[in-house]
Chains A and B, each alone.
Chain A
């Protein structure tokens, strides 16, 4: 027995070494992107894919002649996504994809912070549990781009299906924000959704009390392109006061905000900061391609201080629930009929028009956000879909088929029409369809079928370069974002003044970026 002990110990050490070395294997591999039957494929001739649901006028999903759409039959893919309308619509219609390809797609939907955690752990373990990733540009892509597959390898592969309509059919600004990191050498994701903040308001309230407000304040208060943030504050305060006096009975508060200690607070505040000409960093254009070196914080500027002071003042007249609401919470408050106007992601239009979940269906109008000192700024919150580079070659190619389908004009059109609430398309071509254009008109039959389109006119305006605001796409964003919304939350709670707030954000930001 004694003689066996050293031997057993040696075996144990050897086994442990094998286990550890297996665990630490980096999983790097070269990718064979070719189709299995590449020799039978004619890349010069494209053939329509057998997906149902294509409509005249949209670029079709095609594959080179000889490509077998069932080539990856039996492969199982896992997609992790934030619980957003497009993923719900994709999940509800996944049969369309599975029937054609034979690929099984499991869609896991959860809140964004959990997606960030799970993706991070999966990337770092290189186990590729998730093959398809909802690639939030700011919280995931900016920090983890090295773990995403460069989609150029698949886009350029002649034996696989191409991006229908080409990359040109995406909004180029949205493609840059959601697909690239640092430069345009590699593309890591294709635009999948594009929520953008615009203003929702109760048109019944604004029509009914228009004359009364005009009489007292002397200007037309209807929210629109001429409204400024200062006027917004005045209108919100007036409505809240009149509601307390019992003059206004339809709503209780003039405005509501997503001011919980959460990502939503940073989004809400950014509309004002950017409209006043401010930003979080001194370096320009961090929101488009992004950078690993953001430079110095710009939160010590006069504009940042003024914006913080205004936001603090605005929240004092907002619905008191605002400090406990994220974007869903403020939407619920508005849908319940308590609030006259809210800055909100445009894809909540479907919720407001759904009579099962809303008391304000048919009473909501959408417009652009108010102007600040410099411009009008609308926070963009779009996301792309990318592929985990540690997946096997077969899984990667199967995931590519899903990416092609889910970001295609026809899938985006399907998402728009989905009963799950849908989302608005990331493809320019979809907005050229006659029924989509008609759906943007309130009261049209198409707007009833595709209620998110009711918010599209101001959203299309918001996407213009001069109106959109894209937050910094930097690896340190999760920390910087947390510093911003935590300090703003302290300010709203009355624990610190706006000056101290912007100073703390500046200090913490510069520490994390080594400035």
Chain B
């Protein structure tokens, strides 16, 4: 590529040749400078990834030291397992409902904060507090609030005649853990969208105002299209994160009752670390990685399409 460019350019000017040589040397230096970090990346990232693929074809259940080649056994086991598909089904519900709620609330609150005439920084700081709470702590908070003996929410529901054990009931346990996730991560969406809003050009908004657009028209036709990329970035980050989610479920329901909150991340943890079946765990992990990449690619494509 560089050579052909050099040739074509050399017809116009012979001085281009030394520049091309310089470029080549520069690339070479960069390569060697990057090599240590690439090597490190290979050790901490690529090697485990390759090992994961290797592990998914091995049986670790008898001995961790001397795993036995088991062919497609682990893969067949997971694809024929009811729990696997049911866990993915719950993960789908968890992801879609969680992301939708976080998106609607996150964007809505970002717009509210953006419209504040003053005190914006103070409100953002308060609103962001849940993000700084470790997910395990968020789970503990949820567990205490919903505790049927001394939980505040349980007591409040009791006052209005609702006597239901939220974390002990199949129909309410999943909504409860989704809401805990929403409580913790909606502020992150708000922050990202707010960053997009503050970088908006005021000219477009002023032009819309001059044209007589009301707030909702400005929102639909000006603001949201302009912050759509920020929203996509927020969704990209959260979607990849939400698929790996286990902390709150581990603390609150441990996958129950009746497996109603056993999403794929928790199932993987159970198989790999509780059952110590690292081979099947590796296969499960690869399916999660595959879906995460697919979802990430989807959002990236949407973003690139918007750019075009």
B150 touches A332 (CB 8 A): yes
B149 touches A321 (CB 8 A): yes
B274 touches A336 (CB 8 A): no
B275 touches A338 (CB 8 A): no
Q: Which residues does chain B contribute within 8 Å of A324, judged by CB atoms?
A: 148, 165-169, 253, 257
Q: Which residues does chain B contribute within 8 Å of A277, judged by CB atoms?
A: none
Residue in A12, A333, A489 whose CB lies within 8 Å of B258 = A489
B170 touches A493 (CB 8 A): yes
A478 touches B276 (CB 8 A): yes
How distant is B188 from chain A, measured CB to nearest CB, in Å? 27
Interface residues of A in 98-144 (CB under 8 A from B): 113, 116-117, 120-121, 124, 143
A117 touches B254 (CB 8 A): no
A322 touches B168 (CB 8 A): yes
Tell me if B270 counts as interface (CB < 8 A to partner A).
yes
Q: Which residues does chain A contribute within 8 Å of B166, judged by CB atoms?
A: 324
Residue in B164, B259, B275 whose CB lies within 8 Å of A261 = B259
Chain B count of residues within 8 A CB distance of the other chain: 30
Tell me if B5 counts as interface (CB < 8 A to partner A).
no
Q: Which residues does chain A contribute within 8 Å of B150, judged by CB atoms?
A: 332, 336
Highest count of chain B CB atoms <10 Å: which of A120, A262, A321, A324: A324
| Interface residue SS majority, chain A | helix
A323 touches B168 (CB 8 A): yes
- A320-B148, A478-B275 given as contacts; is B64 within 8 A of A124 (CB)? yes
Q: Which residues does chain B contribute within 8 Å of A321, judged by CB atoms?
A: 148-149, 165, 168
**Residue ID in chain A nearest B148 by CB atoms:** A321
Q: Which residues does chain B contribute within 8 Å of A489, judged by CB atoms?
A: 256-259
A143 touches B276 (CB 8 A): yes
CA distance A320 to B256 in the complex (A): 15
**Residue ID in chain A nearest B274 by CB atoms:** A478
Interface residues of B in 151-188 (CB under 8 A from A): 163-170
B274 touches A495 (CB 8 A): no
Tell me if A260 counts as interface (CB < 8 A to partner B).
yes
CA distance A1 to B270 in the complex (A): 51
Q: Which residues does chain A contribute within 8 Å of B274, judged by CB atoms?
A: 113, 116-117, 478, 482
B163 touches A261 (CB 8 A): no
A120 touches B258 (CB 8 A): no
Beta-carbon contacts of B1-35 to A below 8 Å, as 1s and 0s? 00000000000000000000000000010000000
CA distance A124 to B67 in the complex (A): 12
Interface residues of B in 241-275 (CB under 8 A from A): 253-260, 270, 273-275
- A262-B256, A324-B168 given as contacts; is B64 within 8 A of A338 (CB)? no
Residue in B39, B147, B257, B260 whose CB lies within 8 Å of A332 = B147
Tell me if B203 counts as interface (CB < 8 A to partner A).
no
Beta-carbon contacts of A316-348 to B below 8 Å, as 1s and 0s? 000111111100010011001010000000000
How distant is B136 from chain A, measured CB to nearest CB, in Å? 11
CA distance A325 to B150 in the complex (A): 13
Tell me if A26 counts as interface (CB < 8 A to partner B).
yes
Tell me if A490 counts as interface (CB < 8 A to partner B).
yes
Tell me if B65 counts as interface (CB < 8 A to partner A).
yes
Tell me if A226 counts as interface (CB < 8 A to partner B).
no
Interface residues of A in 65-124 (CB under 8 A from B): 113, 116-117, 120-121, 124
Interface residues of A in 196-236 (CB under 8 A from B): none
CA distance A12 to B35 in the complex (A): 11
Q: Which residues does chain A contribute within 8 Å of B169, judged by CB atoms?
A: 323-324, 493
Give 12 CB contacts A-B under 8 Å. A117-B273, A260-B256, A260-B257, A261-B256, A261-B259, A321-B165, A324-B148, A325-B168, A332-B149, A333-B148, A493-B170, A495-B170
Q: Which residues of A contact B (CB under 8 A)?
A: 1, 12, 16, 19, 26, 113, 116-117, 120-121, 124, 143, 260-262, 319-325, 329, 332-333, 336, 338, 478-479, 482, 486, 489-490, 492-493, 495
7 additional A-B pairs beyond A323-B165, A324-B167, A493-B170, beta carbons within 8 Å, are: A113-B274, A260-B168, A260-B256, A324-B148, A324-B166, A332-B150, A490-B259
